[in-house]
Structure 1
C-alpha cells in the first residue's frame, strides 16, 4: 500500500480522520521544545511493542518536562529510581522498560550529551544509516535497536518530531499477526509495509464506525461497502 493511499491519508492528514480519530502520536506535537518532543517520542516507541493509543501519548506529552524524560538527568539515576518515577506518574509500561529507558538515556547522554538531534546529524539524517547504527549499538540502545521498533521510532521522528529523514519512505516493518486480516481488507498481501501504513492499520478497526463518506476521511472504507474489496490500484467488485 502506497503512502498516498486513502487509508494513510485519512489517518495522518485528513481533517475528518478515521471516523473522527487521527494519528494518536500527534498529541506529542503540542510539545514545543524539540529535544523534549524527541524524548517523549523515543520513550513512547519503546514503552510497548504495540502502538500507543491517544490517551497514553497525551499522558506522556503532559510529562514532557519531568526529569524522567531528560536523559541528562535520568542517565545519572538508578533503574530503580526510574521505575519509581514511572509508577509515581502512573505511566503504563512493563516494569522492565524502566531499565531499558535508563540504558537508553545513558547511551544518548554518553555518546551525544543527551541530544537526539546530534545522533541524527552524526548519521546524516538518513533513516537507513540510523537503523544500521542502532543495530550495531544494541547494548547501548536496547529495544530501540530492534528492526520494527527502530523503524516506528524513525517514522515518528520524521512525521511528529518534524525532522525530515532521507530514506524515510523506504522504512518497513513486518506486519504483526493481528493486522493481517485488516491488511487483507485493504488489498495488502505484502508481509512488510511502511510503519505509517502499519500504524493506520492498527488504528482503523477501533476507529471505524461505518460513518457516511462525508463524516469520515476514508471514502472507500471496506466496512461501508462490504461487497467490495480494495486493491492497491483502487476498487474492484468482489467476485
Structure 2
C-alpha cells in the first residue's frame, strides 16, 4: 500500500473512531424531525442556495422553518410553484433560510419548478425514481438537459455533495455510485493540499481548482476500493480540527 493511501485510511479511521470530532454533522438536525417522505425535498431545496454560509446555522434555520406551520410549505415543490415570489420571499426570510431577498427566492422557485417538471410525482423522490436511482441518468438531466432549472445544485461541488447527503440521510441507494466525486469545498481543498495530493495553487478555490482536486482524488483512489465521496467528511473534519497528526 503506498504512503498516500495509507494516510487516507488513517484519516478515515480517525474519523470513524471520533478523533476528528464532528459526531454531530450539520444535517443531523433533520433526523427525527423531518418526515421520511419529505426529507428528500427538504434536503434538496435547502442545498440549492449555494451553501456559502455556516452549514450548522443553515440547517438550524431549515428546521425552524419546517416546524413552523406558516413556512413549512416552502419545502414542497408542488406548493412552491403555485405561490407567488413575494410569498416565497417572506417565508424564506422569516427564519433566515434565505438571506438574499431577491436572489434566493428566484433560485428556490426555479429549483422547485425543475423538480416538479422533471418528476411524475412532483417531488425529488419521483425524480430519482424516474432515473431508477442511476446517477448517470440524473446527471444527464440536472447537469445537461435541464441544467438551467437547477442553478448551483447542478454545479459539481454541490451536486456531488447533495448525492452524498441523500445517500446518508434517506433510503436512496444509488446505481453508479462511483460517479459521486469528492465535493471540494474550502476545507477539502486545504486538506487535499495538506496530504500532498495537490499544490497550494488550488487554494484559490476557482472552478478549475475544484475540478483539479476532484480529478486528482478520482485518480489517486482508483483501484483502492475507496469511493472519492467517502473521504469528504474525514477531510472536512480534519481541516476544521486544525489537522491533528495522522495516526500510524
TM-score interval for Structure 1 and Structure 2 normalised by the shorter chain: 0.7 to 0.9
Residue 191 of structure 1 deviates from its aligned partner by 1.7
Provide the rounded CA distance (Å) in 1 between the counterparts of 2:157 and 2:29: 22
- 1:110 corresponding residue in structure 2: 117
**What does residue range 33-48 of structure 1 map to in structure 2 within 5 Å?**
33-48=35-50
SS of 1:63 mapped into structure 2: helix
Q: Which has the larger share of strand?
A: 1
Gaps of 5+ in 2: 199-211, 218-227
RMSD: 3.0
- 1:212 corresponding residue in structure 2: none
Structure 1 stretch 97-106 or stretch 22-31: which is displaced more?
A: 22-31
Selected match of 1:121 from 115, 129, 149:
129
Structure 1 stretch 76-85 or stretch 17-26: which is displaced more?
A: 17-26
CA contact (8 A) 1:40 1:69 kept: yes
- TM (normalized to structure 2)? 0.71
- 1:191 corresponding residue in structure 2: 213
Provide the rounded CA distance (Å) in 2 between the counterparts of 1:174 and 1:157: 14
Selected match of 2:96 from 90, 96, 106:
90
- How many residue pairs are counted as aligned between the two chains? 211
CA contact (8 A) 1:107 1:141 kept: yes
CA contact (8 A) 1:179 1:201 kept: yes
CA contact (8 A) 1:27 1:58 kept: yes
Higher relative contact order by CA 8 Å / sep ≥ 6: 1 or 2?
1
Gaps of 5+ in 1: 210-221
CA contact (8 A) 1:8 1:200 kept: yes
Residue 99 of structure 1 deviates from its aligned partner by 0.7
Say if 1:7 and 1:141 are closer, same or farther in 2 by CA, change over 3 A: same
Residue 182 of structure 1 deviates from its aligned partner by 2.1
CA contact (8 A) 2:133 2:175 kept: yes
- TM (normalized to structure 1)? 0.73
Selected match of 2:84 from 78, 87, 91:
78
Residue 199 of structure 1 deviates from its aligned partner by 4.2
Say if 1:50 and 1:169 are closer, same or farther in 2 by CA, change over 3 A: farther
Say if 1:178 and 1:15 are closer, same or farther in 2 by CA, change over 3 A: closer
Q: Which has the larger share of helix?
A: 2
**What does residue range 195-206 of structure 1 map to in structure 2 within 5 Å?**
195-206=229-240
